[in-house]
């Protein structure tokens, strides 16, 4: 048919057609991104303290609510003295600093949910190695953002309670002492060595002086006899 939309035509000369104004040559399409969507739905611990160098299991429930499976999913535990909002924002932007990562685990694959499911999920346990003091522990999925997802906003979750050693203050004090024990011991041994060298040198000087005195006396006697 000839003409524009106002004359029941077949071409569109308006900024937008909606509702009954849609012509037979127009069709609304809904586009969905085909991508996984990884969600940390639960994080929990059965205990919040243990001995230094022991471990605390951290339970993580990971879901995929997207429409495509995800593979090689990296999950890490990051340790901070205080995981405030600035720290979380920095993790979202740059990932966990390498020196803060205390545990890594890789999940081979997590399937997409079928038509009868809202999500596919797995349960995994990451072992947090206890260090002296108290720390905030953050669970991060895909810290390097290598997986294209529907949303990256639900890949970070803080363990609800601080995780600590059995005696945080004493453990930190003991760690400081142990860190300084070797340098202090080396310093003490160095001064002791200098003391020994001084005493040995002093003794040798005294022996030399005695010998010189004896030789001088002998020379004087010989001169008198001659």
% of the chain beyond a pLDDT of 90: 42
Judged against a pLDDT cut of 70, whether residue 130 lies above it is answered with yes
CA of residue 156 relative to chain centroid, distance: 12
Query: How far apart (Å, rounded) are the C-alpha atoms in residues 187 and 181?
Result: 10
The CATH-assigned architecture of domain 38-166 is Sandwich (2.60)
Query: How far apart (Å, rounded) are the C-alpha atoms in residues 11 and 17?
Result: 11
What integer pLDDT is reported at residue 86 of this predicted model?
93
pTM: 0.65
Of 80 and 174, the one with more pLDDT = 80
Query: How far apart (Å, rounded) are the C-alpha atoms in residues 69 and 101?
Result: 26
pLDDT tier for residue 70 given thresholds of 50, 70 and 90: very high
Q: Tell me the pLDDT tens digit for each residue of 186-212.
A: 666 777 777 777 677 777 777 767 677
CA of residue 226 relative to chain centroid, distance: 92
């Amino acid at each position: 048919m000839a003409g524009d939309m106002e004359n029941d035509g077949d071409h569109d000369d308006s900024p937008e057609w909606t509702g009954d104004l849609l012509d037979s040559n127009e069709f609304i399409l809904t586009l969905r991104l085909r991508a996984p969507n990884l969600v940390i739905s639960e994080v929990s611990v059965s205990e919040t303290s243990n001995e230094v160098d022991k471990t605390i299991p951290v339970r993580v429930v990971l879901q995929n609510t997207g429409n495509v499976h995800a593979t090689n999913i990296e999950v890490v535990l990051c340790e901070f003295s205080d995981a405030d909002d600035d720290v979380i924002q920095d993790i979202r932007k740059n990932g966990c600093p390498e020196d803060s990562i205390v545990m890594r685990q890789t999940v081979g694959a997590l399937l997409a949910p079928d038509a009868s499911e809202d999500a596919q999920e797995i349960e995994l346990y990451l072992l947090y190695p206890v260090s002296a003091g108290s720390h905030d522990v953050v669970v991060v999925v895909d810290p390097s953002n290598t997986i294209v997802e529907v949303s990256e906003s639900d890949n970070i979750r803080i363990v609800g309670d601080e995780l600590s050693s059995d005696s945080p203050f004493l453990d930190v004090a003991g760690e400081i002492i142990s860190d300084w024990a070797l340098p202090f011991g080396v310093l003490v041994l160095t001064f002791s060595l200098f003391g020994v060298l001084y005493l040995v040198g002093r003794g040798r000087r005294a022996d030399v002086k005695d010998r010189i005195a004896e030789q001088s006396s002998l020379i004087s006697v010989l001169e008198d006899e001659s």
